[in-house]
Amino acid sequence: MDSSSSALKGNKNGLLVATLLVLTALISSFSTRAYITKSAGTPDLSQEYLYFQRYQQTDRYKQNPKYLDSNPFDIDTTYHRLIKAFPYTKTPGGIPKNIFQMWISPEPVPENDLPYPDFRKTWKEQNPDHNYTVLSWEAVRDAAKEAFETTVPEVWEVLESMPLVILRSDFSRYLMLYLNGGVWADLDTGCDRPISKWFHNTIDSDIRFVGSVEHDLNSERWPSLTSRRLQFENWAFTSDNFHPALAMVIAHVVRMHFIIMYEGHLDMYTKEDGGGNSCHKISVIDWTGPGIFSDGIYRYMNTAEKRVFQDMDFDRYNSDETLVGPGTGEKINWRGFSGLVAPVVFNNDVCILPKSGFRCKNDFDESLEEYCYLTHYFSHSWFKEVD
């Protein structure tokens, strides 16, 4: 099957998968809304303090001096432990020329036997000057253990105890780009334009983190359709190694995982019948996926010492609409990224692309072709795992 036939098949399946995404969000949003409100939006600090006390009594905490001064229930504590253990300085010459993809399976699989060979071929052919790697679970696990077990061990504990492949896949991509820098792309993506021609590499800039809008739902019904009013996708992004935006994302995942773990809910995801009360379950989107990924990026920008935005185009495609969405006390929030038709650059360091950027053929708009770089074909094999 050649690339064109593969792309055609992906496009035919696009509408079906998009529908499945909406249905999945609908199902999970109602069962996790209260949980998220308690655990992330307005935390029960007294309960978290009790969790922290229990955490300090564990053998891991008592026996490993590197756990001292940690508090995985506090985002800022974990964030500062990460940036202290892995000091960040911008890589000379730009983001490292690495491309990472991953295939998690019980046993290592030779690259020639991996799925989506035509998609993978686009990454290698379009970017011959980049180091291309398909990571195995064994490689990720070994790298994470070596990096975090004796520095920020709560991060390693999270990866080690995650009950689902999709959770490990999400968290692993943050960890591997944090340690190495480069481009992350899911296996079911195709590179439509060489990385050297992506926006951040074509302007005189020190941009070291690039993400893209996933959805921007200007509807009163948005809470029943998705977990965030405007969400950044995590199937592709690019980052310098040790970038603090990724440190913040990792810290968010650590907090969410420890809350779930100390509420005794991890086993719900390992039992064949789903186990326990489904109302206590939390969706992948909000645990390790694009929901919490978005939270980390927003928080990173809001906690920066300076906040300077450069908007490449002040026009917005929804400028004639009344924006619908939640109020927020944060200065940097979803409103600043709604209706993008061109990139927005924050502090000459973080770039957010319009949603066409990393989903070219899914949301093709000729006027935005200048900012189209890759296509996601939405195989979503992980649906089977979380049904």
Q: What are phi and psi of 223, to 5 degrees?
A: -65, -25
For residues 180 and 175, what is the distance between their CA atoms, to the nearest angstrom?
A: 9
Instruction: Produce one character per residue of 132-168: b if its CB has 16 or more CB atoms within 10 Å, e if not.
Output: bbbbbbeebbebbeebbeeebbbbbbbbeebebbbbb
The whole-angstrom distance between residue 155's C-alpha and the CA centroid of its chain comes to: 16
> 366, 348, 91: which is closest to 203 by C-alpha?
348
Residues 6+ apart with CB under 8 A from 292: 40, 249, 252, 253, 256, 285, 286
For residue 84 the two structure tokens come to 């202290």
131-189: pLDDT as tens digits = 999 999 999 999 999 999 999 999 999 999 999 999 999 999 999 999 999 999 999 99
| pLDDT tens series, the chain, 387 aa | 444 344 434 444 444 444 444 444 433 443 344 444 444 445 566 888 899 999 999 999 999 999 999 999 999 999 999 999 999 999 999 999 999 999 988 787 888 889 999 999 999 999 999 999 999 999 999 999 999 999 999 999 999 999 999 999 999 999 999 999 999 999 999 999 999 999 999 997 799 999 999 999 999 999 988 889 999 999 999 999 999 999 999 999 999 999 999 998 887 776 544 444 444 567 899 999 999 999 999 999 999 999 999 999 999 999 999 999 998 788 999 999 999 999 999 999 999 999 989 988 766 566 567 899 999 998 765 444 543
Q: Is 150 helix (H, G, I), strand (E, B) or coil?
A: coil
The residue whose two tokens read 């935006």 is: 245
The model's pLDDT over 274-321, given as tens digits with 9 standing for 90+, comes to 444 444 567 899 999 999 999 999 999 999 999 999 999 999 999 999
Among 264, 24, 26, 52, CA closest to 163: 264
Nearest-angstrom CA–CA distance, 160 and 141 = 8
Closest CA to 136 of 99, 114, 108: 108
Domain locations along the chain: 3-386
Q: Tell me the C-alpha distance between 262 and 244, whole Å.
A: 27
Q: How many CA atoms lie within 13 A of 369 on its CB side?
A: 2
**Token digits of residue 170:** 């999400």
Classify residue 323 as left (phi > 0), alpha (psi -120 to 50) or beta: beta
The span from the CA of 300 to the CA of 310, in Å, is: 17
